Amino acid sequence: MTNTDKTSLLARSAAAAAVLAMAAKGRAAEKEDKFLADIKSDDADVRFAAWDIAGEMDPEVIPALSKLLAADKPGVRKAAAEALNNIVHSVGKEVNPAGLRANAGRPDALKQLDKRQQVVAKLLEVLAGKHDHAEKVGALRHLSLIATTDDVPAIAKFVHDPKLREEAVFSLERIPGKTSEEALLNSLPDAAEDFKSRILAALGHRRAEEAISACLDAMKSPDTTIAMAGMKASARIGIKTGGQTKLPDYDSLSEWQKIEYTDSLLRYADAQAGQGNPEDAAAIYQAALQRDEGHWQCAAIIGLAKIGTAQAAAAIFPKLRSDDNTVRITAQKAWGAMSEQPGG
């Protein structure tokens, strides 16, 4: 075979491949059009059948499907929402670390990604594009399930969007890895004052140790909502902060905030006890034991019993004769449990 023949054969093969690719693309477009038409159908059975197979659809359908979240007909909105759920859940929760950023920047990058990455890419397209509020909320909620550290910067942009900030923080809060925690922490200084408590709560739920300084600073705020958010987050993180920590002014708090204050102290004490700092924990438990509220006394008794030292037993002993029936029974049970411990 001459070089000319080889060239001709290659050209014909390329042309045939192009034709096949165009035909496949055309069939995919027809499948997508039918799927969307079925989602918009007036027949509930047809809509159900469509959303039931949504996981088999190409992720390219996501932007068009997202637009149906704002459809006039409730049935269509529901079908679109369920279809998106199916697409997102069809890619699973496992991440292939080797694939992250592997094809970034290539003209054909989307087609080189695995299906999970393709779905994420289309959801980010919805988030960044000219889509309405409901569509972007949906995208952020789905991203909270399948996005990875690579996607954090694109999501973090919306922490300062008044309409989407709650959803953006919710999404970041659920994405594993230090990158999402760093994004939350970095967004805190420039966040709106009425939203700082939400970011602090997310950092607390994540137990982000790097956020402890920010939490301690927040506790100094004259805004009791921010101060208590800092205290609650710090307690959840549970790092030993030392005796110089400035707690919120108890007398300035609302009744509910006072409950949160004591609850945070007890949570912090539990963390210290678990980390091998029984003296710090015992001091907090003994302070709670002096409160009038029976449930705080009970919580303190349980904490002291876990510490199990002679000093803890001495603090519990007077409560064996408490006038509060619940406190007395709790103390008796704790005393009994302590006596069964080695050396008790």
On whether residue 207 sits in a domain, the answer given is no
The number of angstroms, rounded, from the C-alpha of 181 to the middle of its chain's C-alpha atoms is: 10
Q: What is the DSSP string of 143-192?
A: HHHH--GGGHHHHHGGGG-TTTHHHHHHHHHHS-SHHHHHHHHHHTTTS-
- Say which DSSP state 94 is in: -
Pair of tokens at residue 148? 């990875």
pLDDT of residue 114: 84
pLDDT of residue 16: 47
Domain assignment of residue 58, given as a range: 31-92+110-146
pLDDT of residue 339: 74
pLDDT of residue 167: 97
- Say which DSSP state 343 is in: T
258: exposed, middle or buried (C-beta count within 10 Å: 0-12, 13-18, 19+)? middle
On whether residue 134 sits in a domain, the answer given is yes
Note whether 344 and 308 are within 8 A (CB): yes
On whether residue 293 sits in a domain, the answer given is yes
CATH, residue 37: 1.25.10
Among 101, 130, 146, identify where a domain stops.
Answer: 146
pLDDT digits 0-9 by tens, 50-91: 989 998 899 999 999 999 998 899 999 999 999 999 999 998
pLDDT of residue 105: 36
Q: Which residue numbers in the chain have pLDDT < 50?
A: 14-27, 100-111
On whether residue 287 sits in a domain, the answer given is yes
Q: How many domains does the chain have?
A: 2
On whether residue 135 sits in a domain, the answer given is yes
pLDDT of residue 102: 40
Query: Model pTM?
Result: 0.80
CATH, residue 337: 1.25.10.10
Lookup result for tokens 């970095």: 186
Is the dihedral angle over the CA atoms 129, 135, 137, 139 positive or is it negative?
A: negative
Note whether 181 and 206 are within 8 A (CB): yes
On whether residue 127 sits in a domain, the answer given is yes
On whether residue 238 sits in a domain, the answer given is no
Contacts of 299-306 spanning 24+ positions with Cβ under 8 A: 299/266, 300/266, 301/327, 301/330, 301/331, 301/334, 302/330, 302/334, 303/266, 303/269, 303/270, 303/273, 304/334, 305/334, 305/335, 305/337, 305/338, 306/273
